[in-house]
Structure formats: structure tokens, C-alpha cells
């Protein structure tokens, strides 16, 4: 069992799901995109965001590298690692 975190990752509007997969693939193959929204209004701003399960140890590096605009951790848990291909849809 490995630590996992379900997070909302915010991106620039216009970011595609393929770009998110490519980006996350640079850091790990152990992620699962549950939902992806290319453009949503949150309050008075538009953002693209994905709800993703991934190893929590990657979160500081993703933010530090400027790969994402914002991270919101929704929950954390332990489970066997899932490859991105197992969640592709």
C-alpha cells in the first residue's frame, strides 16, 4: 500500500487533458485523472482543473516547478498504486 492523495489541480484555461497527462507523466506513471474540466467558472475567474489521485510526495515539486497554478488536497488515503493507463477514459 502506498500513500495517495486526491487533489484538485488548477491549470491555465485552454489546457487539455492530454497536456495534463503529459505533464503528470514527467513526474510519475502512478496517477489517475478522475475528472477533467477544460474551463469552469469559479467565482469570477475561469480555470481548467483536474481531480487527480497521485502520490502526495509529488505535490510540492509540481507546485515548485510551476507546472500547476494551484493545488487543493481533497483527501489522502492508502491504496495499491494504479497506473495512469488503468484510469484512462
The ranges assigned to domains in the chain are: 2-86
**How far is 6 from 86, CA to CA, in rounded Å?**
16
pLDDT at 7 over 90: yes
Q: The pTM is what?
A: 0.79
Residue 1 confidence (pLDDT) above 60: no
Q: Domain 2-86: which CATH class?
A: alpha beta
* pLDDT > 70? residue 17: yes
Separation of alpha carbons 24 and 32, rounded Å: 10
How much of the chain, in percent, has pLDDT values that exceed 90? 47
For cell 487533458, the residue is: 17
- Residue 74 gets which letter from DSSP? E
Indicate if the pLDDT at residue 89 is higher than 60: no
Q: What is the pLDDT of residues 34-72, one digit of tens each?
A: 999 999 888 888 989 999 999 989 989 988 888 888 999
Amino acid at each position: 500500500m502506498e500513500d495517495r492523495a486526491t487533489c484538485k489541480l488548477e491549470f491555465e484555461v485552454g489546457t487539455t487533458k492530454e497536456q495534463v497527462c503529459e505533464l503528470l507523466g514527467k513526474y510519475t506513471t502512478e496517477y489517475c485523472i478522475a475528472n477533467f474540466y477544460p474551463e469552469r467558472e469559479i467565482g469570477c475567474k475561469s480555470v481548467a482543473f483536474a481531480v487527480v489521485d497521485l502520490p502526495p510526495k509529488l505535490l510540492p515539486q509540481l507546485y515548485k516547478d510551476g507546472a500547476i497554478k494551484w493545488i487543493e488536497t481533497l483527501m489522502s488515503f492508502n491504496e495499491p498504486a494504479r497506473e495512469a493507463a488503468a484510469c484512462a477514459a
